[in-house]
Amino acid sequence: MDTGLTQAENRELEQRLQKRQVKEFMNVFGSLVDNCFTSCVDDFTSKAMSNRENGCISRCVLKSMSTQTRLGERFGELNAAMAQEMQKRM
């Protein structure tokens, strides 16, 4: 597939995309940590987390990961449907 870019331009584009993906991942991860911590941790009288807090954190992370996975799947489905629709129009 010819993109009209030189090899150097393709490498630079790839590096920029990778940096953007890392940045987006870090934002999602930071939001997950902040949300689950705020929702689950409320007792600061001990260094250790309680069993309730540990369970809450586990459920929160699992639910968030499942939601992100489903959103990704749904996005892929919609993207494929849009691509099919564009193919029909051509």
Complete domains list, the chain, with CATH: 7-89 (1.10.287.810)
| Average pLDDT over every residue of 53-69 | 96
Instruction: Tell me if 19 sits within 8 A of 39, measured CB to CB.
Output: no
**Amino acid at residue number 58:** S
What is the pLDDT confidence band of residue 3, given thresholds at 50, 70 and 90? low
**pLDDT at site 90:** 78
Residue 27 CA, distance from chain mean position? 8
CA dihedral over 37, 43, 49, 55, signed as positive or negative? negative
**pLDDT at site 5:** 84
**pLDDT at site 50:** 95
**pLDDT at site 2:** 58
